Chains A and B, each alone.
Chain A
Amino acid sequence: MSYSLNEIEAMCKCASRGAGLPWGLCEEAAKGTRWLASFGFPGPDLLVSLLELNDRLPAVDLSPVALQGIWRAPAGRLSPLIAGAAMSDCAIKMELGNIITMLEVDYPLLVVPFASGAALRLGQPVAVEWEGTRMVTNGKELCVQGNSEAILSSHAKRVECSAPAQMLSQSKPIHRAVVGDACWARLGVFAQRTFAPATEASRLRGAGAGLTDND
């Protein structure tokens, strides 16, 4: 079905929270997924697969051990959301010519939206590369090189982020995206966990409407 980008963002934020991510990361997962969807990528599918994989696991297990050297996770697999957010936080490192290298990253395409944030901060395009794929963004537009299998792969052994990068072609975002019903339902399972069960007491007290709301 066709969704507005705001719907996608709202659903992804809720679903990420339902999977146990801290609010700040939920916000970024949601913005990132929206960003990918606006370029026609199945961001919601990748996100929900990641949420299922890492459901309620401690964020720290999937985070880079340190920001120096090559990034790896204590538990072996890096979350693209946590590593991506850290890359955006450290954007300034890339400005100095350093390449940020991440090892064993799940759903690497989910790192790319963070490169857009980094690019906006640096004012120059940032490249993200893994296994024959190269994505370059200046924050507003995206240049894609690679076959779709590699782009959508569920895991990459090595992901490299660098700046400044050259944009050879540019695709612009669109304001609409199609998300499959099955994917939406999978996201909905996570989102549902964030809603308090309905009770009569909550219905009366919580919204403060009192017994009569009519006149």
Chain B
Amino acid sequence: MIMSVCETDAIQLRSPDKVMKLSRLGSIHQSRLSFMRILLRRMQNENWRFDRPVFEMDECGVGHAVYCAHGPDRTYSLVAFSHDLPAEKRSDRVIADAWDATFTLFDGIPTSEDIERLSRNVPLQEAGRICETELSLSRANRSARLWEHIVTALAKGEQPDLQKIEAVGYLMRTTAVYGSGKFGAADREMIADRLEFQSPFQVEMLSVFLTRAFVRDLVEYMARMKGGEKAVKLDPAIARSMGIGNSTGLGMAPFLLNHPVLFNNWIAAREQAAARVRALPQASEQEIELFRELLARSILLTASWTTDHQIQSEKTDGLKRDLVSLQQQAENISDASDHPWNQLNTWAEKELSLEGQECLTSLMLEPYGALVDDLANTMAADNTPTFRIAGAMTLQDLREVLERVYGWALEIDWSDQQNKAKAWYVSEEKLEPRLGERFEEPIEEYEQPLAPGRDAAALYHALGHWPEDKNIAQFLLRHPEYRHIVRRAQIVNQAPYAEIRDNTIASDVLPIDMLRCKLAFFGAVQFDPRSDRWVRINMYANAPYPEELALQSDDFWVYPALRKGN
């Protein structure tokens, strides 16, 4: 299903040519429609129950634990294995082969036989084998900076140093969370009809949510092993501020290009939500007040965002300035303002950086859960209907589609080496996706089809001398090499936000823009690029722990609480 994109007449949706630029996609922020928030909202509304039937560890913290999440119809269990990893083996790269902890999300409650089978496979990750009762496979490494500090402090009966905690933000970071059919796990199609998995990546988000509880429990357990009677538990407020880190490499970037309909549905849902809010003729005093409060809390969230990466650092500084200007501007709107959100947006487009504009797009959705949350159900995708090529389309029609969707690519000089300097390929080393220099490394013959702009321009050129009344079936019979890009063009013709409208192989392409976009849809914060193609983030920082979820009165956990005086 492709999400419909034209329901709001009063205020137009933003054009794909504007939205689908890498610089803007690389400035997107989490929102109500982020997958973590969708998951917690559902579990909160449906009163999910949580328990920990198994926690068997030795004095070194080696063992396993089971965390169950009981929904209205089904139970899911995180099976966690904790290992004793020598420091020199700790690596975030996909090419690592050992981790501090490994996990799977089990469909139901595992028996001891299941756990025995999983204990022989899950710790091996890619080298092991799971089956259709498992929904995900993941692993995490400790933050060397924080883990020892916290264990030592708690063991002595003290709370850890807040500054040290704020500098990292998490105790463990996942280095891969595999879902849908990977390494033998259940295909998404097997579970896609369950209500709790209606929105994308809910399995993965649930697995990380439970992982965070496990990590807190494990650090407290280790402190008890070390300090015995003297040891104390982590202050709940400190625990709450900590998320689960994630270290993400290039693998996520091809995902957006390889799932065009799904990507369209994510962006279309967010754009639709923004358009609905911009179309509101008035806002109530309470809605405006909530917006102002969450804006102030966003400023706190942004203050906790540190990075050494020069580009991101400049962007974050810009965002901090933007949020202060936005705060001043937001003073000008009231319940008497005409289309206040649209007004604020129009102002932001002129005055704020892309980071600031996209932060506003997310923030203004917050007071309007009743108006936009239903869009969460439109974000998944079934690719079957769009996969088949419509061979009867005339070449004239195809040309028009290419001009409309790939106009930006037709203007690029593809003979200039700078415009195609990079090539995406897969290494034989654990099949790690990589980006190389086309003209410096022997990689072109391994290139993956991740440069739709270049391919669309080549197709447009190839169509040049074909009569306009011939159809695609006739053209593809002679030119099967264009089958891939013809399919994409037809998909984007129906799903306007399906394509990144930018050059993905230019010498100056920043893959972190694609990672940022996907991670923001997950609900991540504190993007900290380690290079142009590698980023660390934080997930579920400030979120309630499973046992706190029922006590949560609202859905704004992602924004840190205002301290007295702000």
Q: Which residues of A contact B (CB under 8 A)?
A: 1-7, 22-25, 27-28, 31, 59-60, 63-64, 66-67, 82, 85-86, 88-92, 117-118, 120-121, 139, 175-176, 192, 194-198, 201-203, 205-210, 213-215
Q: Find chain B residues with CB under 8 A from A196 CB.
A: 425-428, 434, 436, 442-443, 446
Q: Could you tell me if A202 and B530 are in contact, using CB atoms closer than 8 angstroms? A: no
In the docked arrangement, what's the CA distance between A205 and B422, Å? 12
Q: Find chain A residues with CB under 8 A from B249 CB.
A: 207-209
Stretch at the interface among B50-58, B76-84, B180-188: B180-188
In the docked arrangement, what's the CA distance between A90 and B131, Å? 39
In the docked arrangement, what's the CA distance between A88 and B476, Å? 12
Q: Could you tell me if A85 and B184 are in contact, using CB atoms closer than 8 angstroms? A: no
What are the interface flags for B379-400 relative to A under an 8 Å C-beta threshold, 1 for contact and 0 otherwise? 0000011011111100000000
Q: Find chain A residues with CB under 8 A from B438 CB.
A: none
In the docked arrangement, what's the CA distance between A203 and B184, Å? 27
Partner of B441 from A60, A201, A203 at Cβ < 8 Å: A201
In the docked arrangement, what's the CA distance between A63 and B474, Å? 12
Q: Could you tell me if A7 and B432 are in contact, using CB atoms closer than 8 angstroms? A: no
Flag whether B431 is at the interface (Cβ < 8 A): yes
Q: Could you tell me if B190 and A198 are in contact, using CB atoms closer than 8 angstroms? A: no
Instruction: Give B485's nearest chain A residue, CB to CB.
Output: A24
Q: Could you tell me if B144 and A215 are in contact, using CB atoms closer than 8 angstroms? A: yes
Q: Could you tell me if B132 and A203 are in contact, using CB atoms closer than 8 angstroms? A: no
Q: Could you tell me if B91 and A214 are in contact, using CB atoms closer than 8 angstroms? A: yes
Q: Could you tell me if A206 and B435 are in contact, using CB atoms closer than 8 angstroms? A: yes
From A25, A82, A120, A205, name the one whose CB has the most chain B CB atoms within 10 angstroms: A205
Instruction: Give B189's nearest chain A residue, CB to CB.
Output: A175
Partner of A198 from B131, B180, B185, B428 at Cβ < 8 Å: B428
Q: Could you tell me if A120 and B388 are in contact, using CB atoms closer than 8 angstroms? A: yes
Q: Find chain A residues with CB under 8 A from B482 CB.
A: 22, 24
- The distance from the CB of A33 to the nearest CB of chain B, in whole angstroms, is 14
Given contact pairs A2-B184, A23-B483, A198-B427, A208 touches B95 in the complex (Cβ within 8 A): no
Q: Could you tell me if A25 and B436 are in contact, using CB atoms closer than 8 angstroms? A: no
Q: Could you tell me if A175 and B427 are in contact, using CB atoms closer than 8 angstroms? A: no
Instruction: Give B443's nearest chain A residue, CB to CB.
Output: A196
In the docked arrangement, what's the CA distance between A215 and B91, Å? 9
Q: Could you tell me if B534 and A208 are in contact, using CB atoms closer than 8 angstroms? A: yes
Q: Find chain A residues with CB under 8 A from B131 CB.
A: 2
Q: Could you tell me if B532 and A208 are in contact, using CB atoms closer than 8 angstroms? A: yes
In the docked arrangement, what's the CA distance between A203 and B474, Å? 43
Q: Could you tell me if A176 and B389 are in contact, using CB atoms closer than 8 angstroms? A: no
Q: Could you tell me if A117 and B247 are in contact, using CB atoms closer than 8 angstroms? A: no
Q: A205-B437, A208-B250 are in contact. List 8 more A-B contacts (CB 8 A).
A: A2-B184, A4-B187, A6-B188, A24-B480, A85-B483, A86-B476, A196-B443, A209-B531
Instruction: Give A66's nearest chain B residue, CB to CB.
Output: B477
Given contact pairs A213-B91, A215-B144, A24 touches B132 in the complex (Cβ within 8 A): no
Flag whether B116 is at the interface (Cβ < 8 A): no
Q: Find chain A residues with CB under 8 A from B434 CB.
A: 196, 202, 206-207
Q: Could you tell me if B477 and A64 are in contact, using CB atoms closer than 8 angstroms? A: yes
Q: Could you tell me if B392 and A92 are in contact, using CB atoms closer than 8 angstroms? A: yes
Partner of B189 from A5, A63, A214 at Cβ < 8 Å: A5
Q: Could you tell me if A198 and B429 are in contact, using CB atoms closer than 8 angstroms? A: yes
Given contact pairs A195-B431, A205-B436, A89 touches B473 in the complex (Cβ within 8 A): yes
Flag whether B273 is at the interface (Cβ < 8 A): no
Question: Can you report 13 A-B residue pairs in the complex whose CB atoms are below 8 A from each other?
Answer: A2-B131, A7-B184, A85-B389, A120-B385, A121-B388, A139-B384, A194-B446, A195-B426, A196-B434, A207-B433, A213-B247, A213-B530, A214-B90
Flag whether B457 is at the interface (Cβ < 8 A): no
In the docked arrangement, what's the CA distance between A1 and B132, Å? 13
Q: Could you tell me if A6 and B480 are in contact, using CB atoms closer than 8 angstroms? A: no
What are the interface flags for B140-164 relative to A under an 8 Å C-beta threshold, 1 for contact and 0 otherwise? 0101110000000000000000000
Q: Could you tell me if B477 and A88 are in contact, using CB atoms closer than 8 angstroms? A: no
Partner of A22 from B185, B429, B480 at Cβ < 8 Å: B480
> B308-360: which have CB < 8 Å to A?
none
Q: Find chain A residues with CB under 8 A from B532 CB.
A: 208
In the docked arrangement, what's the CA distance between A134 and B110, Å? 44
Q: Could you tell me if A22 and B481 are in contact, using CB atoms closer than 8 angstroms? A: yes
Flag whether B487 is at the interface (Cβ < 8 A): yes
Q: Find chain B residues with CB under 8 A from A28 CB.
A: 483
- The distance from the CB of B99 to the nearest CB of chain A, in whole angstroms, is 12
Q: Find chain A residues with CB under 8 A from B181 CB.
A: 4-7
Partner of B534 from A82, A86, A207, A215 at Cβ < 8 Å: A207
Given contact pairs A88-B391, A196-B427, A82 touches B480 in the complex (Cβ within 8 A): yes
Q: Could you tell me if A89 and B182 are in contact, using CB atoms closer than 8 angstroms? A: no
Flag whether B533 is at the interface (Cβ < 8 A): yes
In the docked arrangement, what's the CA distance between A206 and B430, Å? 14
> B216-246: which have CB < 8 Å to A?
none
Q: Could you tell me if A176 and B132 are in contact, using CB atoms closer than 8 angstroms? A: yes
Q: Could you tell me if A214 and B428 are in contact, using CB atoms closer than 8 angstroms? A: no
Instruction: Give B146's nearest chain A residue, CB to CB.
Output: A215
In the docked arrangement, what's the CA distance between A179 and B477, Å? 32
In the docked arrangement, what's the CA distance between A26 and B91, Å? 34
In the docked arrangement, what's the CA distance between A73 and B446, Å? 29
Q: Could you tell me if A195 and B446 are in contact, using CB atoms closer than 8 angstroms? A: yes
- The distance from the CB of B391 to the nearest CB of chain A, in whole angstroms, is 3
Flag whether B42 is at the interface (Cβ < 8 A): no
Q: Find chain A residues with CB under 8 A from B487 CB.
A: 24, 27
Flag whether B93 is at the interface (Cβ < 8 A): yes
In the docked arrangement, what's the CA distance between A108 and B392, Å? 24
Instruction: Give A118's nearest chain B residue, CB to CB.
Output: B388
Partner of B390 from A67, A121, A139 at Cβ < 8 Å: A121
What are the interface flags for B384-422 relative to A under an 8 Å C-beta threshold, 1 for contact and 0 otherwise? 110111111000000000000000000000000000000
Q: Could you tell me if B427 and A206 are in contact, using CB atoms closer than 8 angstroms? A: yes
Flag whether B472 is at the interface (Cβ < 8 A): yes
In the docked arrangement, what's the CA distance between A82 and B446, Å? 23
